């Protein structure tokens, strides 16, 4: 390993080390500037605890929504042949490259009180999604679902379809085969996709603030609280950022075997 490292040409080694420093230094600055002496007291402040609780709850619910909707969608993309499959797959990945604020505007146009669906929800059921906690869940699910669909579709394509064919020849129906054979086969991929989906939902900012607003206790998640605290109390913003950093490290550690080579 050391011999191989010495063979790296400077024209590659120098930019590589510069890139590493570029990624690590901001995190190091966050740790250096953190108010360690007052950290325990700040972690128990009502505003921080409220934002943390709301973030955990909405991210978890959004992940549940993504699992219910995204796993069948991934199965359809991986197992069903239909003419517009490539186009549908492209549509599924659009939120990955769409600016989150644009996603929030699109959600308003669809689920707002005068939106394509929101007007009907309001008149028929009295349900209003924008600027509510439910709106936070919708915004987070919108931006996070592609991570789950891509992970599950990859797991489905990498699984051995012969087990499903064997179950079908033994008389198992499509639903039984999916529940008893397919899901156990792709369970690691579903778990990895759910974790990535949850982490993305937890860190969502643009679509949330556009579609749900920034109301403490109702729609103010941790990223929104960081944005607000940065203008009023920098130390509070650092504490919230540290919490999100810890969550990111935990997620990376949980997915170490799948995404990081040993």
For 19-41, write each residue's pLDDT tens digit.
Answer: 999 999 998 988 898 888 888 88
pTM, two decimal places: 0.86
How large a percentage of the chain has pLDDT more than 70?
Answer: 95
Residues across the chain? 262
pLDDT digits (tens, 9 = 90+) for 120-147: 998 988 889 999 999 999 999 999 999 9
Is the confidence at residue 1, as pLDDT, over 80?
A: no
Half-sphere exposure of 230 (CA within 13 A, CB side): 7
Residues 196-215, mean pLDDT to the nearest whole number: 92
Q: What is the pLDDT of residue 5?
A: 59
Model confidence over 209-257: pLDDT tens digits?
999 999 988 999 999 999 988 888 888 888 888 888 888 888 777 766 5
Contact yes or no for 37/171 (Cβ under 8 A)? no
- Model pLDDT, residue 200: 92
DSSP string, 128-147: --TTSHHHHHHHHHHHHHHH
pLDDT mean over 163-192: 85
- Given a cut of 80, is residue 52 above it in pLDDT? yes
**Mean pLDDT across the chain, nearest whole number?**
87
Q: With bands split at pLDDT 50, 70 and 90, how would you rate the model's confidence at 4? A: low
Give the integer Cα–Cα distance in Å for 221 and 203. 9
What Rg, from alpha-carbon coordinates, does the chain have? 22
pLDDT in tens, 71-110: 999 999 988 888 888 999 999 999 998 999 999 999 999 9
Q: Average pLDDT in the 187-210 region?
A: 92
Distance, CA of 187 to CA of 195 (rounded, Å): 12
Confidence at residue 66, expressed as pLDDT on a 0 to 100 scale? 96
Which 3 state secondary structure label does DSSP give 152? helix
184-194 as b/e, with b when 16 or more CB fall inside 10 Å?
Answer: ebbeebbbbbb
pLDDT band at 6 (very low <50, low <70, confident <90, very high): low
- In this predicted structure, the answer to whether residue 262 has a pLDDT above a threshold of 80 is no
Domain covering 39-259, topology: MetI-like fold (1.10.3720)
């Amino acid at each position: 390993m050391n011999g191989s490292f010495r063979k790296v040409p400077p024209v590659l080694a120098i930019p590589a080390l510069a890139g590493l420093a570029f990624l690590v230094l901001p995190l190091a600055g966050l740790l250096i500037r953190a108010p360690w002496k007052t950290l325990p007291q700040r972690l128990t402040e009502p505003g921080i605890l409220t934002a943390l609780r709301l973030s955990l709850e909405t991210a978890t619910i959004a992940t549940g929504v993504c699992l219910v909707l995204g796993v069948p969608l991934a199965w359809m993309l991986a197992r069903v042949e239909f003419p517009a499959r490539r186009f549908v797959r492209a549509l599924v990945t659009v939120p990955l490259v769409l600016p989150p604020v644009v996603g929030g505007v699109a959600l308003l146009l669809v689920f707002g009180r005068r939106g394509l669906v929101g007007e009907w929800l309001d008149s028929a059921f009295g349900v209003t999604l924008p600027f509510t906690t439910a709106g936070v869940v919708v915004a987070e699910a919108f931006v996070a679902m592609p991570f789950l669909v891509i992970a599950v579709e990859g797991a489905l394509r990498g699984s051995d379809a012969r087990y499903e064919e064997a179950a079908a020849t033994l008389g198992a129906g499509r639903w039984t085969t999916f529940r008893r054979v397919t899901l156990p086969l792709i369970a690691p991929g579903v778990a990895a996709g759910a974790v990535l989906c949850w982490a993305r939902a937890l860190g969502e900012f643009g679509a949330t603030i556009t579609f749900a607003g920034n109301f403490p206790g109702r729609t103010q998640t941790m990223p929104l609280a960081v944005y607000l605290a940065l203008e009023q109390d920098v130390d509070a913003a650092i504490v919230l950022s540290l919490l999100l950093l810890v969550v990111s490290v935990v997620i990376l550690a949980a997915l170490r075997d799948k995404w990081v080579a040993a």
